[in-house]
């Protein structure tokens, strides 16, 4: 099987089948031709197990995260954003998946699909359903939270709509199933998962950039990075190909590995920036960077110097944990602004729908903070409810 034109994940399925890679495949299952040039594309990046204090723009002093610092300097950094009880809960709230699915209403991805967006999901999905039935045109990642802890997995799930053609019958079909990552077969560690997801993210953006060929169709991409969480719950296991640039530090090995892992996350954002500039996609595109969950407490207290402010997730208590939140939207959101407005993942769907100029879905639990994102009083939204006071 040749590489799918959208995610290019270096996998083979069967010698009897080949993936359609011709120009016509670009239009397979595409949204109707609608003038969408004014609607921004949205990239939402969530990291599993990332604290505010992991980023130097939030106060990290042991190492630097220059690319995320740039994202914050050119966008809006929020100090009082919170998620759900765990990673899955945060994603459910972010997409308005839980309350709307129960009521039979479309979630955020489905609503954007209906508005003409092309949608994709890369990374974790542990909400108990198949993401391609919940509004995502494409998917590459994991359907199980435990599987996503493997930084060198042997397989991953992928959904490729209309992507396979039988050379004998010329019958086109969808592919939904596991694909083998051959560099990791037999216990080898040739393909590092975070790097693979960064490649997939950049390939998705490149293939789906709005242009005349797709009628300037915007895209919505959700990237649920399973890093920098520990690979073994309860232990300080942070797999990296190398602990550079911290090899010579006198820190514990686990601290060097975790710092290197966070640095790799930051480097991934830098690579995305480079791709966007190369494709000239820095206009009419918004990037949202946040976390789906704060990290669990380190097993070894000697690692606590990495996060002196705490910001750990406590599974024994339901108190929301503050999470990093940066919104980069050139020409729309003011550069370098630091906001103290309290909001949470439940407010994301109404905000994203506002950004996309899509009519809000009935029954949403949250409210749009779009005016506040612009630095304006929220005169056209309900008064913000009192939230947990987080410094």
pLDDT at 101: 64
Rounded CA gap, 112 and 355, in Å? 11
List pLDDT tens digits, range 299-351: 999 999 999 877 888 776 667 789 999 999 999 999 999 999 999 999 999 99
pLDDT at 217: 95
What are the extents of the domains in the chain? 1-30+152-188, 39-137+192-373
Upper half-sphere CA count for residue 273 (Cβ side, 13 Å) = 18
pLDDT along the chain (391 residues), means of 10: 40 32 33 61 97 96 97 96 92 85 82 96 92 95 92 94 69 85 94 96 95 93 96 95 97 97 97 94 93 94 90 74 95 93 95 92 85 68 35 33
Task: Identify the CATH class of 39-137+192-373.
Answer: alpha beta
pLDDT at 162: 74
Rounded CA gap, 225 and 293, in Å? 11
Q: Is the Cα torsion angle 76, 84, 296, 232 positive or negative in sign?
A: negative
pLDDT at 26: 30
Q: How many CB atoms lie within 10 A of CB 118?
A: 24
Rounded CA gap, 13 and 177, in Å? 10
pLDDT at 124: 95
List pLDDT tens digits, range 139-179: 999 998 889 999 999 999 999 887 666 666 677 778 889 99
pLDDT at 168: 67
Q: Could you say which DSSP state residue 257 is in?
A: H
């Amino acid at each position: 099987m040749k590489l799918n034109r959208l995610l290019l994940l270096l996998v083979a399925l069967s010698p009897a089948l080949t993936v359609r890679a011709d120009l016509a495949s670009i239009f397979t299952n595409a949204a109707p031709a609608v003038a969408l040039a004014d609607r921004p594309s949205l990239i939402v990046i969530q990291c599993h197990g990332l604290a505010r204090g992991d980023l130097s723009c939030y106060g990290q002093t042991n190492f630097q995260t220059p690319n995320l610092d740039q994202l914050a300097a050119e966008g809006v950094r929020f100090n009082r954003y919170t998620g759900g009880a765990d990673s899955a809960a945060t994603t459910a709230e972010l997409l308005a998946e839980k309350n709307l699915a129960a009521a039979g209403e479309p979630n955020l991805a489905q609503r954007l699909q209906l508005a003409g967006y092309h949608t994709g999901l890369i990374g974790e999905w542990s909400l108990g359903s198949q993401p391609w039935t919940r509004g995502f045109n494409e998917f590459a990642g994991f359907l199980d939270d435990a599987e996503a802890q493997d930084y060198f997995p042997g397989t991953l799930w992928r959904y490729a709509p209309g992507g396979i053609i039988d050379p004998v019958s010329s019958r086109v079909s969808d592919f939904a199933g596991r694909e083998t990552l051959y560099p990791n077969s037999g216990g080898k560690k040739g393909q590092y998962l975070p790097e693979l997801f960064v490649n997939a993210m950049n390939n998705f953006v490149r293939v789906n950039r709005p242009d005349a060929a797709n009628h300037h169709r915007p895209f919505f991409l959700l990237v649920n990075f399973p890093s920098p969480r520990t690979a073994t719950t309860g232990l300080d296991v942070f797999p990296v190909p190398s602990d550079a640039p911290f090899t010579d530090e006198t820190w514990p090995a686990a601290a060097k590995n975790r710092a290197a892992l966070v640095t790799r996350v930051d480097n991934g954002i830098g690579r995305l920036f480079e791709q966007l500039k190369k494709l000239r996609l820095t206009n009419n595109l918004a990037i949202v960077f946040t976390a789906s969950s704060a990290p669990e407490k380190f097993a070894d207290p000697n690692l606590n110097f990495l996060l002196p402010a705490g910001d750990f997730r406590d599974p024994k208590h339901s108190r929301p944990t503050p999470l990093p939140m940066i919104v980069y939207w050139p020409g729309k959101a003011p550069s370098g602004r630091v906001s103290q407005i309290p909001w949470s993942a439940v407010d994301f769907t109404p905000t994203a729908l506002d950004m996309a100029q899509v009519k809000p879905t009935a029954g949403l639990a949250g409210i749009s903070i779009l005016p506040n994102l612009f630095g304006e009083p929220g005169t056209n939204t309900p008064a913000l409810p009192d939230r947990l006071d987080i410094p």
